[in-house]
Amino acid sequence: MKKRLWWIAISPTVWAIHFLACYITAAVWCEKIGEGNLRPLQISVGIYTAIALPMIIWVGYSSYRNFRRGDPPVPFDFDDPTDRTHFFGFTAFLLSALSVVATLFTVLVFVLVGSCD
């Protein structure tokens, strides 16, 4: 059960690292380069996203499979290892879905931004 507990934190951690990488890169880019072509900045954010999204989706997919294994009862009324496993799977799946949305919103800023001003 302990190794299932860590699955809850994986997707939000990947999103947080993606968020920090994007904004630190943008801060350094805008300070050093300033005005000009933002295409290299957008490409680096795209690379960060291409690494983060598959990781988050994989955790979400694995968690969903873990949640649906054995046709669990939804109201988690019983306290046994099987119900805890289903609960952790459901929780990790929902946090993965939230992390996908947060990652896409982070990328949206870099798609819509026009300059470093």
* Contact between residue 19 and residue 52 where contact means Cβ atoms under 8 Å apart: no
Residue 108 structure tokens: 């949206």
The alpha carbon of 115 is separated from its chain's Cα centroid by a whole number of angstroms, namely 26
Give the separation between CA 90 and CA 50, rounded to whole angstroms.
25
Q: Using CB atoms within 10 A of its CB, is residue 25 exposed (0-12), middle (13-18) or buried (19+)?
A: middle
The rounded Cα 46 to chain-centroid distance in angstroms is 14
Mean pLDDT of 98-107: 95
Reply yes or no on whether the pLDDT at 95 is more than 90: yes
- For the chain, domain boundaries: 1-68+81-112
Q: How far apart are CA 59 and CA 10, in angstroms?
A: 7
Given a cut of 80, whether residue 81 has pLDDT beyond it is: no
Q: What is the pLDDT of residues 1-58, one digit of tens each?
A: 456 678 889 999 999 999 999 999 999 988 888 777 788 888 999 999 999 999 999 9
pTM exceeding the 0.85 threshold for the entire prediction? no
